[in-house]
Structure 1
Amino acid sequence: MQEQSTQQPAGRSRAVQLDAFGGPEVLNVREVPVPQAGPGQIRVRVTAAGLNPMDWIMTADADTAARFGLSLPAGFGTDYAGVVDQLGDGATGFAGGDRVFGGALSRAVADFVVIDLDERIAANEAHHTPDGVDDRTAATLAIAGRTASAALAAVDLGPDDTVLIGGAAGGVGVFAVQLARIAGARVIGTGSATSAEFLRDLGAEPVAYGDGLTDRVRALTPGGVTAAIDLHGTETVHAARKLGVPDDRICTIAAQVDGVPAANGANATPGALEEIARLVAAGRLRVPIAASFPIEEIRRAAELQAGQHVHGKIVIDL
Structure 2
Amino acid sequence: MQAIIQDSYQGIDALKLLPRALPALTPLGVRVETRYTPVMPYDVLTETGQLKQQRPVRLPIVVGYGFGGIVREVGQLRHTQLLNHAVIGVHPAGSHQEQLLSTFPPLLLPVPEGVSLAAATTLIGGGDAAYLALKKSRLHAGETVLITGASGSVGTYLIQLLRLADIHTIAVGHSSRRDLLRHLGAEQVVVYDQSLTAQLPSSTAVNQVIDLAGSPQLLDQLTELLGAVPILSLALPTYHARLPQQAFTFVSGAIMPKDYRWLLQQLAQGTLQAMIQERLPFTAVKLAQHRLQEQHAAGRILLTYNQEA
Q: Give TM-score, length-normalised by structure 1.
A: 0.84
235 and 284 in structure 1: CA distance in 2 versus 1, 3 angstrom threshold: farther
Residue equivalent to 2:243: none
Q: Distance in 1 between matches of 2:7 and 2:65?
A: 18
Query: How many correspondences in the alignment?
Result: 295
Q: Distance in 1 between matches of 2:228 and 2:274?
A: 29
Q: Distance in 2 between matches of 1:89 and 1:223?
A: 59
1:94 CA displacement: 5.4
Secondary structure of 2:82's aligned partner? coil
Q: Distance in 1 between matches of 2:199 and 2:263?
A: 32
1:211 CA displacement: 7.7
RMSD: 2.3
Q: Choose which of 253, 256, 281 in structure 1 pairs with 2:234.
A: 253
Conserved 8 A contact 2:34-2:67 = yes
64 and 217 in structure 1: CA distance in 2 versus 1, 3 angstrom threshold: same
Q: Distance in 1 between matches of 2:32 and 2:86?
A: 9
Secondary structure of 2:251's aligned partner? coil
Conserved 8 A contact 1:196-1:206 = yes
Q: Distance in 1 between matches of 2:159 and 2:256?
A: 18
More displaced 10-residue stretch of structure 1: 91-100 or 292-301: 91-100
2:283 is the counterpart of 1:296: yes
Q: Choose which of 208, 219, 224 in structure 1 pairs with 2:191.
A: 208
Q: Distance in 2 between matches of 1:270 and 1:14?
A: 29
181 and 116 in structure 1: CA distance in 2 versus 1, 3 angstrom threshold: same
138 and 51 in structure 1: CA distance in 2 versus 1, 3 angstrom threshold: same
1:38 CA displacement: 1.4
1:134 CA displacement: 0.9
Residue segments in structure 1 that go unaligned for 5+ positions in a row: 1-12
Q: Deviations over 1:164-202 (max 9, x none)?
A: 011101111111111111111111100111111121111
94 and 27 in structure 1: CA distance in 2 versus 1, 3 angstrom threshold: farther
270 and 135 in structure 1: CA distance in 2 versus 1, 3 angstrom threshold: closer
Residue equivalent to 1:8: none
| 1:30 aligned partner, one-letter code | L
2:41 is the counterpart of 1:53: yes
Secondary structure of 2:279's aligned partner? strand
2:143 is the counterpart of 1:180: no
2:182 is the counterpart of 1:194: no
Q: Deviations over 1:241-284 (max 9, x none)?
A: 7524643xx31011123642222242x35622221111111111
Residue segments in structure 2 that go unaligned for 5+ positions in a row: 241-246
Secondary structure of 2:171's aligned partner? strand
Q: Distance in 2 between matches of 1:110 and 1:174?
A: 27
Runs of 4+ residues deviating >6 angstroms: none
1:48 CA displacement: 0.9
189 and 225 in structure 1: CA distance in 2 versus 1, 3 angstrom threshold: same
Q: Distance in 2 between matches of 1:53 and 1:31?
A: 24
| 1:115 aligned partner, one-letter code | S
Residue equivalent to 2:274: 287
Q: Distance in 1 between matches of 2:14 and 2:249?
A: 34
More displaced 10-residue stretch of structure 1: 104-113 or 75-84: 104-113
Q: Distance in 2 between matches of 1:279 and 1:127?
A: 15
Q: Distance in 2 between matches of 1:43 and 1:287?
A: 26
Residue equivalent to 1:4: none
Residue equivalent to 1:127: 109
Q: Choose which of 1, 7, 27 in structure 2 pairs with 1:39.
A: 27
More displaced 10-residue stretch of structure 1: 229-238 or 79-88: 229-238
The share of aligned pairs that are identical, in percent, is 25
Conserved 8 A contact 2:174-2:193 = no
Residue equivalent to 2:244: none
Conserved 8 A contact 1:19-1:73 = yes
Q: Deviations over 1:74-102 (max 9, x none)?
A: 11121210111122232348521121101
Residue equivalent to 2:86: 99
More displaced 10-residue stretch of structure 1: 206-215 or 31-40: 206-215
Written as runs of structure 1 = structure 2, the 5 A alignment for 1:306-317 is 306-307=293-294, 309-317=296-304
1:66 CA displacement: 6.5
1:237 CA displacement: 4.3
Conserved 8 A contact 2:6-2:14 = yes
Q: Deviations over 1:101-159 (max 9, x none)?
A: 011136212111111226x5xxxx21111111111112211211111111111221232
147 and 93 in structure 1: CA distance in 2 versus 1, 3 angstrom threshold: farther
Q: Distance in 2 between matches of 1:308 and 1:106?
A: 28
Q: Distance in 2 between matches of 1:295 and 1:147?
A: 24
Conserved 8 A contact 1:218-1:224 = no
Secondary structure of 2:209's aligned partner? strand
